[in-house]
Structure formats: C-alpha cells, structure tokens
Structure 1
Amino acid sequence: MSEQLADHYRQIITGLGENPEREGLRDTPERAAKAMQFLNRGYSQTLEEIVNGAVFESDTDEMVLVKDIELYSMCEHHLLPFIGKCHIAYLPRGNVLGLSKFARIVDMYARRMQIQERLTREIAEAVLDITDARGVGVVIEARHLCMMMRGVEKQNSSMSTSVMLGTFREKMSTRQEFLTLIR
C-alpha cells in the first residue's frame, strides 16, 4: 500500500513540474505516503477496539463534560487539514466512559477524510452507543486550511458544528447548560 501511494506522490510531484529525483524531493514520495497513512489511520480502527472495555458502572447522573479535545482531520474535498477542538458532554445512565477514551474516539473519526458536520455526528453517535447515555452533546470548532490557504483565503474564519442527541436535544435547559459550560 505504501509503495503504491509513494508512486502516486511521485507522479503528483512530476505533474506539478518538479523533479522527484532532485536531492530535496528524493525521499518525499515515501515520506508523504507514510504521512497520509498516519493522517488517515482511523480507517483501520474500530470503536470496540479503542474503547477496549473502559465503560464502568456508576450511579453518576449529572452531566459529564470533556472539553477542548484537540483534533486534526483532512477535508475530503481538497485533502487539506482542518484543525480544532471538540467538546463532548453526556448524561450517564448507569455507565461512565474512561476519560482517555473520549480523545481516542475523536481521533479515530477525525483521522479519516471528513467533513466537519459528519465528524460531529459520528462522535456523538459513538458516545451514545458506547455509554447508553440519556443524552449526548458534541460541539466542534475548527479552522479549515481549504478555506484559509486557497479559494477565498479567509485567515480568521472558523466553523462550529453541533449535534445534540437524547436529552440534549429534547431539553433546552440541558442544552443551555452544556453550551454555557463550553464558553
């Protein structure tokens, strides 16, 4: 797989008018192929694998919030990065999730070719599925290099997306508490 990707990068470099054999570019196709595999490693992971049984019984029924989880993803339209942070809250119903697992869930879905809207939903649905929570709220704030480096070139633009499931969708007070806590 890596050799095939490297050959494609070699063709891209040539197609851009460069010489892939010059000193500075000689190993670039292999490095770029490895980097792309790393940036998209979420395809080889599963939710069960990364959670690894870290769901624990608990009588906690108040909101649990993990905020400012950094994320790096690739825009599926231009193959350019978008970078941001994710906030996740849930209302447990007998189970809590190990803290590090929230970051692992974010990474698994972010490390795929994505659009931010789908990424937000995938994270929310995964947390709901794995915890059987009464509700889940997810907000992602990100800056997209496809908008900053090309096209309209707006350096200070950012995008916010949210997905509210269960109680977070049904009860305005729960949603408002979550949104207040992440500001």
Structure 2
Amino acid sequence: MDARPTPLGAVLSSTAAFTRPTQDEAEAAVRTLIAWAGDDPTREGLLETPARVTRAYGELFAGYGQDAGTVLSKTFKDVGGYDDIVLVRDIPFNSHCEHHMVPFVGKAHIAYLPHDGVVGLSKLARLVEVFARRLQTQENLTAQIVDAINEHLNPRGTAIMLEAEHMCMSMRGVRAHGASTITHRFTGVFAEDRVEQDRFLALISRR
C-alpha cells in the first residue's frame, strides 16, 4: 500500500510514544490473528489475506489522514440572504467500534443555521466520513462532527442526530439484532430554543 494515511499517533496526545508498524509487521500481525482464530495462514485461500486486510484497513481508517478544516474550508456567502436552517439528512456512514474493532453502521442527520456563509452540501457528508473512518464510539463521533462545524463554519447553531446498529451488540455478546442506538447534540440556537429543536426533529422524520 503506497498511499498511507497519517499515522494514528497524529491524533493521540503529543506526549504519547507512538511508532507506526511497517507494512510487513502489519501483515505479520494479520497472519498471527488468522492462526490464533484456528486457521492456517499458509493455505492457498489465505496467502494473500494479510495484504488484502492492510489495504482494506487503509480505506476503512482513511479518516486519520483527513482533516475536517480542509473539508469545510470553502464557504459561500452569496446565498441571497438565506439564513434559515440547512439540513442534510440520511447521510450513510460506517465506522468501527474502538472497543471491539467491529463495524457500526447507520445514518447521520446534520443541520446548522448559517452565520458566515454556507458550505457545499456534499461537504457535510465528507465531514462525517473524516471522523467515521477511524476507531470510534458513536458518542464521540457525534461530538466531533458538531465541534468541527462550529469551529470552521461558525453557525448560529448546529443540530445532529446519529442512528446506528452496532455489530458488537448484534454479532456477539447479547446478539441484539436490529437494536438501534441514537445520539444527538444541539448547540447555539438549537440548544437554547426548544422550538428549533422540535423543527429539526420534525424535518428529519418527515418522509
């Protein structure tokens, strides 16, 4: 894998000692896990698996090499005086639980009240990807998206809701198939005004 995302250490505390393993070390770790699971990493069907897994991880965790500020850097101020809610709902995402490293999959609904301009609508979906393609908890993912919008767009208020199914609950443990986890956060006008909260909730539920 030639193009590598920024090392995980870049998002850790600057005081934390972190050295990223080499490609060979990563592939060796995959072979160890295959053997630990009970299979033979040298059999034909598994020979290329370590290389495939590291390539897949490069995609699944590409968010470590992406920056929210870059995604939200371009805004548009000529919006004809529009200053009402901007909402993008049903943004699909998949992430990985940092506790078990298995997926959780869902959709995000994001709204903001413009102040210094608006951002391209696709950028909100890209912003979700920046943080979702990392080891995460849903709670932290929710907070990171909101904080990035507030920092880089300076809106009058932000609202977000994430709905997801966690494979760590449905594939293992209690095996609660179909259970949905919902997290939300309101800031600015949305936090202060219950009417705005209700309007956001009504808009994301409208079909």
Give the TM bin, normalised by the shorter chain.
over 0.9
Match of 1:138 among 157, 160, 166: 160
Cα pair 1:42 1:111 within 8 Å, conserved: yes
**Selected match of 2:94 from 69, 72, 97:** 72
Aligned residues: 182
Higher strand share: 1
Gapped regions of structure 2 (runs ≥ 5): 1-21
Q: Distance in 1 between matches of 2:104 and 2:178?
A: 13
Partner of 1:89: 111
Distance 1:49 1:134 in 2: 21
SS in structure 2 of the partner of residue 77 of structure 1? coil
Distance 1:119 1:2 in 2: 28
2:17 corresponds to which residue?
Answer: none
Which aligned pairs between 1:1-183 and structure 2 lie closer than 5 A?
Answer: 1-51=22-72, 53-57=73-77, 58=79, 59-183=81-205
> Following superposition, which runs of at least 4 residues in structure 1 exceed 4 angstroms of deviation?
none
Identity rate, percent: 42
C-alpha distance in structure 2 between counterparts of 1:45 and 1:34, whole Å: 17
Length-normalised TM-score, structure 2: 0.85
Q: Which runs of 5+ in 1 are unaligned?
A: none
Mapped to 2, the partners of 1:16 and 1:100 lie a distance apart of 41
Structure 1 distance, partners of 2:23, 2:120, is 34
User: C-alpha separation between the residues in 2 aligned to 1:2 and 1:145?
Assistant: 28
Q: Deviations over 1:10-62 (max 9, x none)?
A: 111111221101011111111111111211110111112223x3211143210
Amino acid of the residue matched to residue 54 of structure 1? K
**Larger displacement relative to structure 2 (63-72 or 42-51):** 42-51
Partner letter of residue 124 of structure 1? V
Q: CA deviation at 1:106?
A: 0.2
Paired with 1:25 and 1:14, the residues of 2 have a C-alpha distance of 11
Structure 1, 121-130 or 132-141: larger mean CA deviation = 121-130
Q: Aligned-residue CA RMSD in angstroms?
A: 1.0
